Structure 1
C-alpha cells in the first residue's frame, strides 16, 4: 500500500539544486549543519527551562527525547552527505517521511484538542484571544516547519535518485578479451590462418 511512499522512484519533481542556488549534496550538508546548531540550541534551552522548575513535566521529557532523536538522525544525515552513502540516505529518507507524517498528525490532534478545550471552556474560560494567539502561533510556526521539512525530504529523495544513477555502470563486453564474441573471432581467425598456410 505504501510502497510508493518509501520508494524514491515515484513521479515527484526531482531537484538538482538546494534552494535553487547550491549544488544538491552541498546544500543538504549545509542544511544538516544548520539544523544541528538549531537543535543543539533548542536542547540547551529546554534543559535551561527545566532547571527552573521543581517537577519534571512529562511533555518536557517527550519533547526533549524527540529533539535528541532528531539530532542523532541529523548527524546520520550529515555523515551520509559527506560519504555519499546511499544506505544512510535511504534510512534518513524513511525517517524523514515518518517524522513528517507523525508531526502532522500530532499537530492536527493537538490543535483540535486545544480548540475543543477553548470552545467548551474547560481550561481557560473560553478565552477567544488565546485561541487567536494559539492558532496564529501554530499556523505561523508549524505550517512553515512542515513545508520546510517536506522540501528537505524531497531534496533527500532527489539525492537518492542521483546516487542511484551514479551507481549504474555499463560494461563493454566487446572490448574485453574474455567475452564469447572475442573468443569466437580468435577461433575463426586461427582456423582461417591454418587453411591459408
Structure 2
C-alpha cells in the first residue's frame, strides 16, 4: 500500500498527523456548537412565531440537525482519541480513528454518487466534493503511514547522555 514519509511533501508525518488531528477536533467542536444552536434557533422560531411555518420543512431541518449531531457525537470522541493516540503513541487509538475516518469517507462518497445520480448536475458541487473526497483519501493515507511508522519507533523517548 502507498506510504508517505512526509505530510504535504514538507512536514514530518507525526507533525502533519497532529495538525490534522487538532484541525478535526476543532472542526468537530465548532460543528457541534453550530448544530446545537441551529436546533435551539429552530425550536425558538417555531415556538414563538406568529407566522405560519411549513411543518414539513421544520421537521426535515430538525431531522437533519439531529442526524448531524449524532455523527458529531461519534466524531468528537474519535478526534480526541486520535490526538491522544498520537501524543501517547497508542496505535490502537490511531487505528480506531483510521477505521472511523475510512467509514466516514466511504459513506460520503456513496452520498456523493447518490446525489449526482438523482439531482441535476452541478459543476461547483461536483468539483468541491471530489476535492474533499480526494483530500480525505490523502489524509487517510498520511495517517495510515504514520500508524505503520508507529510500530517500531518511539517518538517521545529522549536520549539522555
Rg larger for: 1
CA distance in 2, matches of 1:30, 1:91: 18
Q: Which runs of 5+ in 1 are unaligned?
A: 1-11, 116-130, 168-197
The counterpart of 1:41, out of the listed 20, 27, 30, is 30
The aligned residue for residue 155 of structure 1 is 142
The aligned residue for residue 30 of structure 1 is 19
Number of residue pairs the alignment of both structures matches: 138
The aligned residue for residue 62 of structure 1 is 67
Residue 14 in structure 1 maps to residue 3 in structure 2: yes
TM-score w.r.t. the length of structure 2 is: 0.75
1:65-104 matches, within 5 Å, as: 65-104=70-109
The aligned residue for residue 115 of structure 2 is 110
Once the two structures are TM-superposed, the CA of residue 87 in structure 1 deviates from its matched residue by: 1.4
Once the two structures are TM-superposed, the CA of residue 42 in structure 1 deviates from its matched residue by: 1.8
C-alpha distance 93-19 of structure 1, shift in aligned 2 (>3 A): same
Once the two structures are TM-superposed, the CA of residue 76 in structure 1 deviates from its matched residue by: 0.9
Q: Which has the higher contact order (CA 8 A, sep 6+)?
A: 2
CA distance in 2, matches of 1:44, 1:35: 14
Q: Which runs of 5+ in 2 are unaligned?
A: 47-57, 155-161
Coordinate RMSD, CA, aligned: 2.0
| Cα offsets for 1:43-86 (capped at 9, x unmatched) | 22222222222355212111221123122211111011101111
CA distance in 1, matches of 2:37, 2:128: 22
> Contact between 2:38 and 2:65, CA under 8 Å: does it hold in 1?
no
C-alpha distance 91-67 of structure 1, shift in aligned 2 (>3 A): same
Q: What is the SS of the residue equivalent to 1:82? A: helix
